[in-house]
Amino acid sequence: MIDPPRPVPGARLLFSLDPSVSYLNHGSFGALPISVQRAQQRLRDEMEANPLRFYGTGLMDRILHSRRHLATFLGADPDGSALVPNTTAAVSLVLQSMRLGPDDEVLLSDHAYGAVAMAVRHRCRQTGASARTVAVPLGLSAAQTVARVRAALRPGRTRLLVIDQLASATASLFPVREIVAAAGEQDIPVLVDAAHVPGMLPVDVSVIGADFWVGNLHKWGWAPRGTALLHVAPAWRRRIEPLVVSWEHEQGFPRAVEFQGTIDYTPWLAAPAGLFALRTLGLELVREHNEALVSYGQRVVGEALNLAPADLPHPGGPGVAMRVVPLPGGLASTFPEAQALRQHIAEKLAAEVAVNAWGGRGLLRLSAQVYNRPEEYDLLAERLPPLLAAFRK
C-alpha cells in the first residue's frame, strides 16, 4: 500500500496554473513559478527599455554567469558547457559536428524521444549513414540493460550511441554511467539525453563521463522554457560546429554556440531564479514529495484499470517523478491514436496527462510536482475507465 505524501505547504500558490485543470503532465513543458515569471519579465522590460544596451556590451558576461550557475548545479564544467534552447537542438548540434559518412551508423534505444530519433534519421539520410535501434524491454536490471546495449555496439561502424538517462515515453531510468563506460571500452562516443534530469534527480555530469550530455532546465529545474545545458567532453569541444554562424563564431565553443544574434536570451538569464525557487522550497523535500506522489498516482490509476502491481513499470531507481500506466490493448498503439486520446482526456476530464505509443502499446504517463494533490489522481482514476471504454467504441 502506497500512501500519498503530505502536501508541501503553500506550494500550489507559487504557480499560476488554471485551478480548474488537473495538470498531471509537468514532464512535457514544465510549469514556471510566479517568481521566475516575474524575474524573466523584468529582464524583458530591461531589454525593451534599451535594446541596444541590452544586446551590447555585457550580454555575453551575463550569459556566462548563468551558464556557470547552472553547470555548477549539475556538476558540469562551465567552460565545457553551452546554453542551448532544448535537448532537441543540442542533439542536432552534436549530429552536425560528428561528420558522419556512408559507412557509419548511429545507435539508439527504442526508448529514444521521438524528435531525437527523427533528428538522427534525418541526419543519417543527409550523410548516407544509417540509424539502428536496440530494443531494451521494460523491467530489465541495470546489468541486463548494459549488457544489451554493449552487445548492440559495432566497433568501427557505430560512430555515436544516443542513450536516455531518463526516457520520456517509458519513464525508465538508464544506468548511463555504466553504459558510457562500456561504449568507451570500444572507443564509441556517447550522447546522453538527460532532458528530464536537471532538478528532478541529483546528477554529477563529470562522473557520468559522457562525450555529450544535455539536460533541460525548463522542466524540473523551474527555468523559463528554452533553457538547456549541453556539456561536451574536452576532446570534442574544438569539433563542435554551431548550427548558426554569428558574431562569436571565432571564439569557438561554447560562445559560438550560445550567441545567435537577436534571439531572446531572457530565459537563460532568468534560469538561476528557477533554481533559487527550487532550493528555497527545499530541493530534497520537493524530490521526495514528487516521487511519493507519482507512485501513489500510478497505483490508484493502475488499480482502476485492473492492473496488478507487477504490471506497473518501475523506473529502476529512486527519485523519478514520472510513472507510466499501460493502457488496455488496442488503445493508443500508434502516435496519432496516442495524441487523440491525450486530447480527449484533456477535453472530457479536464486533466492533462501524457499518452505515448511504445512497443505497440499505449502508455499513460503521469508526472507529479509540488502543485499536485492526491485527489487529482483519485479523480482521474475514477473517471478514466468509463472514458476509455467509450473511446474504444
Task: For 328-349, write each residue's pLDDT tens digit.
Answer: 998 999 999 999 999 999 999 9
pTM for this model (two decimals) = 0.96
Cell numbers 530494443 correspond to 135
Residue 40 domain flag:
no
Q: Which of 275, 306, 327 is the last residue of a domain?
A: 275
Cis peptide bond N-terminal to 254, omega within 30: yes
Residues 206, 101, single domain; the answer is: yes
Check: CB of residue 287 under 8 Å from CB of residue 274: no
Q: What percent of the chain has pLDDT over 90?
A: 92
Contacts of 368 (CB under 8 A, 6+ apart): 24, 26, 289, 290, 291, 293, 294, 297, 321, 322
Residues 26, 86, single domain; the answer is: no
Check: CB of residue 246 under 8 Å from CB of residue 57: no
**Over 90: is that where the pLDDT of 72 sits?**
yes
Q: Identify the pLDDT of residue 300.
A: 97
Give me the mean pLDDT over the 234-259 stretch. 91
The CA distance from 219 to 235, in Å, is 29
Q: Identify the pLDDT of residue 3.
A: 84
Residue 107 domain flag:
yes
Residues 373, 226, single domain; the answer is: no
Q: Which of 228, 245, 275 is the last residue of a domain?
A: 275
Q: Which of 256, 275, 294 is the last residue of a domain?
A: 275
Long-range residue pairs from 309-315, CB within 8 A, at least 24 positions apart, any chain: 313/138, 313/139, 313/170, 313/171, 313/172, 314/139, 315/166, 315/171, 315/172, 315/173
Cα 288 → chain centroid? 19
Give me the mean pLDDT over the 366-382 stretch. 98
Residue 298 domain flag:
yes
**Over 70: is that where the pLDDT of 1 sits?**
no
Q: Which three cell numbers stand for residue 61?
A: 558576461
- Domain region containing 187: 52-275
Reported confidence tier of residue 391, pLDDT bands at 50, 70, 90:
confident
Residue 289 domain flag:
yes
Q: What percent of the chain has pLDDT over 70?
A: 99
Residues 369, 302, single domain; the answer is: yes
Give me the mean pLDDT over the 29-33 stretch. 97
Residues 149, 19, single domain; the answer is: no
Q: Identify the pLDDT of residue 393.
A: 59
Q: Which three cell numbers stand for residue 178?
A: 555504466
Q: Identify the pLDDT of residue 35.
A: 98
Q: Identify the pLDDT of residue 247.
A: 82
Give me the mean pLDDT over the 275-292 stretch. 96
The CA distance from 70 to 67, in Å, is 5
Number of domains making up the chain: 2
- The DSSP bridge pattern shows strands 81-84 and 22-23 to be unpaired
Q: Which CATH number fits the domain that encloses residue 85?
A: 3.40.640.10
The CA distance from 309 to 207, in Å, is 34
Positive or negative CA dihedral for 339, 171, 109, 196? positive
Residue 169 domain flag:
yes
**Over 80: is that where the pLDDT of 2 sits?**
no
Give me the mean pLDDT over the 74-88 stretch. 97
Full 3-state SS string of the chain: CCCCCCCCCCHHHHECCCCCCEECCHHHHCCCEHHHHHHHHHHHHHHHHCHHHHHCCCHHHHHHHHHHHHHHHHCCCHHHEEEECCHHHHHHHHHHHHCCCCCCEEEEECCCCHHHHHHHHHHHHHHCCEEEEECCCCCCCHHHHHHHHHHHCCCCCEEEEEEECECCCCCCECCHHHHHHHHHCCCCCEEEECCCCCCCCCCCHHHHCCCEEEEECCCCCCCCCCCEEEEECHHHHHHCCCCCCCCCHHHCCCHHHHCCCCCCCHHHHHHHHHHHHHHHHCHHHHHHHHHHHHHHHHHHHHHHCCCCHHHCCCCCCCCCCEEEEECCCCCCCCHHHHHHHHHHHHHHHCEECEEEEECCEEEEEEECCCCCCHHHHHHHHHHHHHHHHHHHC
The CA distance from 302 to 314, in Å, is 12
Cell numbers 541590452 correspond to 54
Q: Which CATH number fits the domain that encloses residue 362?
A: 3.90.1150.10
Residues 352, 219, single domain; the answer is: no
Reported confidence tier of residue 244, pLDDT bands at 50, 70, 90:
confident
Cα R_g (the chain), whole angstroms: 21
The CA distance from 347 to 181, in Å, is 46
